[in-house]
Structure 1
Amino acid sequence: MKNKNTSRLKQYSYLLIKKLLFVSIICLLILQKNTPSSAISILRVEPSVIELQNQAFFNLRRGDFLEVFKKCEELLTINKKSILAYELLGVSYAGIGRYDKAQELMESLKDVAKNSSLLHLCKGMILHSQQKFDEAIAECQESINMNQDNPLALSVIGRIYIDKKEFDKAEEFLKQAAEKEPELASAYTGLGVNYLLQGNIGESFKNYQKALEINQDEHMARMGLATIFIGLKGYENAIEQYNLVIKKLPTFIRARQNLAALYLQIGRFTDAIEQSNEILNIDPDIAPIYLILARSYSYTDNFDDAVKNIRKFIDLQESSFEGYYLLGVFLMASGDSKSSKDALEKAGKIDAKQGYMMIANALINHIEGNYDNAEVYLEKAQGLTPETNNPMINIFFTNLYLTQGKYKLSKESLKASGGFINGFRPDNLDLKTDSEINQSFAHTNLAIFFYLNRWYDKTIKMCDAALTIHPDNPITLYVKGKSFIDKKDFNQALSQFKKIVEIQPDFLSPHYDLAKLYLIMDETDKALEEYKKTAELDPKDASVHLSIGNIYSRQGKNDEAIAEYKQVLTLAPDSPVGYNELAYNYAESETNLDKGLEYALKAAQLAPKDASILDTLGWVYFKKNNFIKAIENLKSAVELGPNSPTIRYHLGMAHYKNNDLNNALNEFKNSLAITERFNEVFQSQEMIKLIASQLNQTQK
């Protein structure tokens, strides 16, 4: 009987529990239905949800937005109406620059989430992108007021102050962000940007590196490093950084665009074209890319494609002066003068005060025989362009006057044309004209214009057209020779300069270029001979004696080198280069280190921000066994020229002699990381082996 009652009791208890459970579920459903936000769910209290939320916040405070996306995706799989997940997504979209998506999410939440720290942060980031700086700061500050432990908001405020050019405040907030969250890579990236804008390359580099130590995928730090490398002419290092970003983010257009622009800048035109086409596959409406393509095609002598792409650029940027100007000069290079004038006329309607447009119009009128119009355009150009362009305009005047037989005016203009091309000096140059050769000078002007635009194939063709009429024109031959140098065709260049010297042996410029060509071609004795001829023609030119001294120094003729460097100082008493070369020569030969130090200090006084001069000063101290002073000056040299392997090698040697093996080893490795083509490469390799052996012995 007892067992039967027990059984009934259990059955009754089971039914009661079942009913209570059913009622509880109904109540919860009613509660959910009547809650102000239908996004609230009983599932939000499950441990898995809390864990995901914590992980999302953990990644957000470190600026790891891609991980936040992953966690939010999991959260929304569990609860599609999770307000918190959408708030996190909003901040993350803003963090990766997708402000449109962030704004869209904020709009969708305006009725259900009116006041939260994440919402204010997201609004601040969006306002920052709109350059509403004060409003953005206010929103971020409100986010911090609601959540004091908010490194991301501090970092955003820091970046806003960078844009406001308030660098001290920017540094303050970014450092606070890094202190609150040492793993927030974007805070160090911000500090890198802040220091770079103030010209502090060393601190900028350190902070970008720190950001990448924290997160190898901190792409903006890589972009910053690339900017530094470009400034230091470390182009291959910059290309490597851009490619690392693109590998991770193939559709990151800014990285691809910067890379394409860099390829254009350093003359890798095929790569620029390839990278630009990759961008257009992602988005065909990016106007600057057509500009890069047009310029790249022009440098490869493909003016048909240059014209096509600049027209596409104009389709997207109808009011662009640059677009119509480039179309005009591309058409000029193609020989279509009429269409060129039409395009330049449209450019003039957009901006009538551009000197280069006046020059282009002048050259077209010159070739067409409208000499008065050409002269008017050149006079306008002279008033609209900087004084640094006067040599170029004066050589155009020279050829225009020669075409008209105005010999006296041409001589006056020629005197003022020195430097229109690097190395050109009109000294001792005598130009002749007569009616049979007059038209050649219009072709020469076009050739000069093409050369200045780096269209070397077009330059050579136009020079040939001029030389067909006037075979002995020294300026035409000179421009043609310079074009061959830029095309690395040194034998052809040599031929042009030799011909000029035969025609006019006292013309200075070709002697300079012959000397430089002979050095490139490793014919040192011939180079020395040309420099000596130049010194005879112009005994007051200190730079010639500097070049002769450098040749003697490389040949190990120290006495002759020192004599030439002293002649440099006689002619140019305030030349830091002269003092520096003397000091370095004394240091390397160890003949008179006290005198070497005197000269090195004088050079540093004249040029305190020159890396090579501080390197010499440090090296003289090294030779005098003053390793502390050597390290001090060589460190300063490294800050100014971090991509010099020789300076790194010298600093490594100073550390080694100062018994700092680890720093010495780092610097020798740094020297080889920069390049393996420098004078001390073998010594660096041997020092690495020696120090590694010594460190191993110490550990044993």
Structure 2
Amino acid sequence: MLYLNWTDFSSRKLKMGLLLLALITGLGGCGQHQAVDHTGQEVAAKTDKPVDTSAQKSGDDRGCSYFHFLWGRHAELAAEYEKALAAYEKSLQCKPDAEFVHRKIPLLLLRLNRGEEAILRLRQYLVHHPKDTISRMLLAKVYIRQGEFQKAAAQYRRIHQLDAQDTTALLLLSELYLAENKYDMAKTALRDVLTVDERSYSAHLLLARLLVAEDNFEAGQRHYEQALDITWSEGLQLELADVLTRQKKYGQAVGLYQEILHHDEQNEEAQVALIHIYLLQGKERKAIAELQRLKESIKNPKQAELTIIRLYARWEEYDKAIASLEEFLQKYESSEARYLLAALRFQEGQYEKVLLDLQKVDHEATEYEDSLFLQVRTLKELNRHHEAVQALESALAQEEGRTPDLYILLAGIYQFIGQVEQCRNTFQRALEVYPEDEQVLYEYGLFLDYRGEQDAALEIMERIIAMDSEHAGALNYVGYTWADKKKNLTEALQYISRAAKLKPDNGYIRDSLGWVHYQQGEYEKARKSLEMAVELAPDDPAILDHLAETYLALGLPEKAKQTWRKALDMYQEYKEEQAGKGKEDQESKRIQEKIHRLETGESK
């Protein structure tokens, strides 16, 4: 073994560091190239060959680009995204056509919640590289993240035009259409995939599920069979067997289940389904024999019986499920079975029996919190609100079972029965235990708004946004509040637009979007958003009120009058249901006055 003293080691380490520095600066190409002499002093670099500066003049320096790329990658892995972005930008300055860096930057911008910039960068890049399908894929992904599904779909279609043999874009397009409930367009995209690749497993499977959802069982069955021919799996065969059962093709279904059991005799789902088919066919002896075999073959026969009972419930055979549970509970006491029985009895309106069953659910059981919620719902149905309060207060007194949801539910009951200060106190108690819980804060903000304390509500909602910039509810509240007061309209539109991208199918957010457009004088935009809001939330009179105002602004008084009449009818229904709480009366009077002014020809 050679002995190396510390001085020698330090000297070698220093020289190695200088050598690495020389190599890096030699590769860097980002300034004047210099060398280092034996004393560590910088000297002019010497070479016998003339220096080729053409790459530097053209801005194409691969060494410089790679150097900054590595720094950017290091910063990105350390989650220092701003630093990473700056390094990648410098990498592009050195080598403007570095494709990989061009694709990296939009992803970083997304991480920094700068989606619009990411879109701009990608679109600019595609102007010069229109056939770059990878960048188009990335652009589609960004559009989806921003909630702009139609633009994403356009990119997928363009990718397919550029490369007709690549089915990935078409599959993604079909999934996008499915997310938007555009089932016919999804089917078209999937059939286009199969035109290119008739053995596309994903296309056959998605198409099969779509067709079965539309009750087109025969066509769906064919695609299931083709998918199974490509890649066989127990799960997929179970799906097909279920489709056959729904068509009452019991013989074929039995054959598929038996084939699954041949591969895996412990497959409980196939065994239970087989029992169900025998029962549907009236072959009770076969069903009983199969059930006994199932109980003996699996480790937990109790769970097998519960699985069968759950199947009865799923098939909406509630009487059978309840009778089976009663029989099961005579043999085995189980919190899981008790809760299931209570839930089924609630479905059947047997409220007193529900409460008796829930009393027997163990406080330590995983079903306990769900059983408590069901107990409160049942007491509410029976108009026994004070008992519901007692049950929740008792649960909250025990620290182990305490959750934010219990506080929110208790506050809601206090509000419903008119104990406003108790409701406020419950929220404040919750925030002492869970000061950063967004849901508690949000519900408290809504309560304050209901009480007319809008400034306090707004402060809480802005606090939520500071904690979570993607909280759609808080964004919508702040944006709508500003819009309703005709203040900060530009910012209000930004907030509500973000909320709409996060929850595009929320009618109340669409209503806010329409209302801010109305306040900006963009009446046609307001109309489109508000008509969509009415489709998504047809039973809200406040949305109809906003739509009527917009029709009036567009010079459509008859449509405005009809819409206000619908809103008035809804307020009258609410008044009857809520026994006239006051707010509905005020809104009804306000709308009646508007209708009266229209009918008498008075101006708005």
TM-score w.r.t. length of structure 1: 0.46
Whether 1:308 and 2:220 are equivalent positions in the alignment is no
1:528-562 alpha-carbon deviations (Å, 9 max, x no partner): 74354132233353322312333555678765543
1:674-699 alpha-carbon deviations (Å, 9 max, x no partner): 45355654235424523432799xxx
What is the distance in 2 between the residues matched to 1:459 and 1:325?
26
> 1:331 matched to which residue of 2?
271
1:599 counterpart SS class: helix
| Match for residue 498 of structure 1 among 319, 336, 355 | 355
What is the distance in 2 between the residues matched to 1:500 and 1:287?
46
Whether 1:477 and 2:335 are equivalent positions in the alignment is no
What is the distance in 2 between the residues matched to 1:326 and 1:291?
14
| Match for residue 526 of structure 2 among 639, 643, 664 | 664
Whether 1:513 and 2:453 are equivalent positions in the alignment is no
TM-fit CA distance, 1:600:
0.8
Residues 285 and 642 from structure 1, CA distance in 2 versus in 1: closer, same or farther, beyond 3 angstroms?
A: same
Residues 508 and 669 from structure 1, CA distance in 2 versus in 1: closer, same or farther, beyond 3 angstroms?
A: closer
Whether 1:535 and 2:386 are equivalent positions in the alignment is no
Whether 1:207 and 2:68 are equivalent positions in the alignment is no
Map 1:413-424; keep pairs closer than 5 Å: none
2:505 counterpart SS class: coil
The amino acid across from 1:595 in the alignment is A
> 2:449 matched to which residue of 1?
587
- How many equivalent residue pairs? 413
TM-fit CA distance, 1:653:
1.0
1:638 counterpart SS class: helix
Map 1:247-646; keep pairs closer than 5 Å: 254-255=202-203, 257-261=205-209, 271=215, 276-279=220-223, 285-287=229-231, 291-292=235-236, 294-295=238-239, 297=241, 308-309=255-256, 324=264, 327-331=267-271, 334=274, 367-368=295-296, 443-448=301-306, 456=314, 463-470=325-332, 473-482=334-343, 484=344, 490-491=347-348, 494=351, 497-501=354-358, 503=360, 509-516=370-377, 523=381, 525-526=383-384, 529-539=387-397, 541=402, 542-551=404-413, 561-589=423-451, 591-624=452-485, 625-646=487-508
Specify every segment of 5 or more residues in structure 1 that has no aligned partner in the other structure, as ranges. 1-157, 316-322, 337-362, 375-441
The answer to whether the Cα contact below 8 Å between 1:508 and 1:534 also exists between their aligned partners in 2 is: no
The answer to whether the Cα contact below 8 Å between 1:583 and 1:600 also exists between their aligned partners in 2 is: yes
1:356-392 alpha-carbon deviations (Å, 9 max, x no partner): xxxxxxx99995499xxx5xxxxxxxxxxxxxxxxxx
What is the distance in 2 between the residues matched to 1:447 and 1:620?
54
- Which 10-residue stretch deviates more, 561-570 or 626-635? 561-570
Whether 1:227 and 2:85 are equivalent positions in the alignment is no
What is the distance in 1 between the residues matched to 2:294 and 2:396?
35
2:383 counterpart SS class: helix
Whether 1:242 and 2:177 are equivalent positions in the alignment is no
Residues 561 and 682 from structure 1, CA distance in 2 versus in 1: closer, same or farther, beyond 3 angstroms?
A: farther
The amino acid across from 2:498 in the alignment is S
Q: CA RMSD in A?
A: 5.5
2:436 counterpart SS class: coil
What is the distance in 2 between the residues matched to 1:528 and 1:325?
53
The amino acid across from 1:497 in the alignment is V
What is the distance in 2 between the residues matched to 1:601 and 1:308?
60
TM-fit CA distance, 1:283:
7.5
1:604 counterpart SS class: helix
The answer to whether the Cα contact below 8 Å between 1:450 and 1:456 also exists between their aligned partners in 2 is: no
TM-score w.r.t. length of structure 2: 0.52
Whether 1:647 and 2:509 are equivalent positions in the alignment is yes
The amino acid across from 2:205 in the alignment is Q
What is the distance in 2 between the residues matched to 1:493 and 1:446?
26
The amino acid across from 1:331 in the alignment is Q
The answer to whether the Cα contact below 8 Å between 1:227 and 1:238 also exists between their aligned partners in 2 is: no
The answer to whether the Cα contact below 8 Å between 1:446 and 1:462 also exists between their aligned partners in 2 is: no
1:203-250 alpha-carbon deviations (Å, 9 max, x no partner): 6524235459999999987864653476xxx6x715354245479899
Residues 474 and 295 from structure 1, CA distance in 2 versus in 1: closer, same or farther, beyond 3 angstroms?
A: same
What is the distance in 1 between the residues matched to 2:120 and 2:512?
36
TM-fit CA distance, 1:649:
0.8
TM-fit CA distance, 1:494:
4.4
The amino acid across from 2:256 in the alignment is N
Residues 587 and 455 from structure 1, CA distance in 2 versus in 1: closer, same or farther, beyond 3 angstroms?
A: closer
TM-fit CA distance, 1:583:
1.9
TM-fit CA distance, 1:634:
1.2
Map 1:81-120; keep pairs closer than 5 Å: none
The answer to whether the Cα contact below 8 Å between 1:500 and 1:510 also exists between their aligned partners in 2 is: no
2:229 counterpart SS class: coil
Specify every segment of 5 or more residues in structure 2 that has no aligned partner in the other structure, as ranges. 1-98, 109-117, 277-290, 559-604
Give percent identity, aligned residues only: 14
Larger Rg: 1
TM-fit CA distance, 1:579:
1.4
